[in-house]
Amino acid sequence: MRELRYNPLTGQWIMVSAVRRERPWRPSGFCPFCPGGEETGYGWEVLLLPNRFPMLSFEAPKPEPIEFYRKARALGQCSVIVESPEHDLKDLDELSQGGMVKVVKLWREATAELRGNPHVAYLAIFRNKGEEIGVSLTHPHDQLYALPFIPLRVRLKLENSRNHYERHGECLFCRILNEELEGRRLVYENRGFALFMPFFASWPFEVHIYPKRHVMWLTQLDEREIEDLADAMRVATGVLNEVLGREMPYSMMVFQAPLRGNYPFYHLHVEFYPLLRDNGRIKYTAGIEMGTWEFTYDGVPEENAERLRRACRRVTKRLGAVGGCPRRP
């Protein structure tokens, strides 16, 4: 079985796939993402592979209709982006700058290719790190879901940014960026991108990356901006792994505008959701978060942003970062 089921209470589509039950959990023996495998071969630096256990497929069958609830074909693509041939890299901050650039360029190429597919409405590029998150294979990788619908979270961002644009004549993301560039939550900036903890952070060490130029898609970034985004990604992960003196489990999402249509009020951005609130202490999404989707924040975001800045100053030299970490009173 592979199908989409619609939740009429929230307006969300649920991806249902029986094949997902078969995916391995941290298998012993040969890693399927290492060089020399049946799918990988040799002589590559970054690789796009089909997910062996996909939620979506362009070959998905049409589901049988039922009387009340809505179903739809699970059309789309699920892919794995293998970020390096090196199996033991722990995170993106251990990639070279050139290696990270190749990853970002592959994101851009996938976006360009899928924008022409009539079955794809939205491209979700995301990364999970850590056993606490549920990562089943430890070889460094991120993932790509080409979705036939626009996810609810993105629809909410589109609605709010459209309303702000119509009311004030400015991009909401650009306004947020300007506020954070002058505020106490800025962690790092280079020529083209800013890394900051947002005023409205939900996770204790949540950080976002915004391009300074207003763009909607990765395909609009020039070569220098690709370099700057790669630099900011390495710094972001380096800071998260430094701030508590241990590897930080997290989820990361690249947010672009939907692939069909034009959205002048929307702005490309990246969000990191780190799982720890202190060393060895997990930020659980419990009753209030799960039941209402409203988060509680244990602490003060500005104080945690200062901890991230101190970590930033320790890692930028090691990474050869091109930007800097501001000092705030």
Residues marked active site are found at 141
Which positions ≥6 away from 43 have C-beta within 8 Å? none
Angle formed by the axes of helices 301-319 and 223-243, nearest 10°: 110
Question: How far is Cα 310 from Cα 242, in angstroms, rounded to an integer?
Answer: 9
- Tokens representing 161 are 């940014």
Q: Compute CA distances 140 → 82, 94, 128, 151, 214, whole Å.
A: 6, 10, 10, 26, 30
Give the single-character DSSP code of 53. S
Reference 148, options 70, 52, 260; nearest CA is 260
- Residue 124: phi and psi, rounded to 5, are -100, 120
Question: How far is Cα 230 from Cα 99, in angstroms, rounded to an integer?
Answer: 9
- Tokens representing 168 are 């004030």
Reference 139, options 248, 30, 272, 54; nearest CA is 30
Q: How far is Cα of residue 222 from the mean position of the Cα atoms in its chain? A: 20
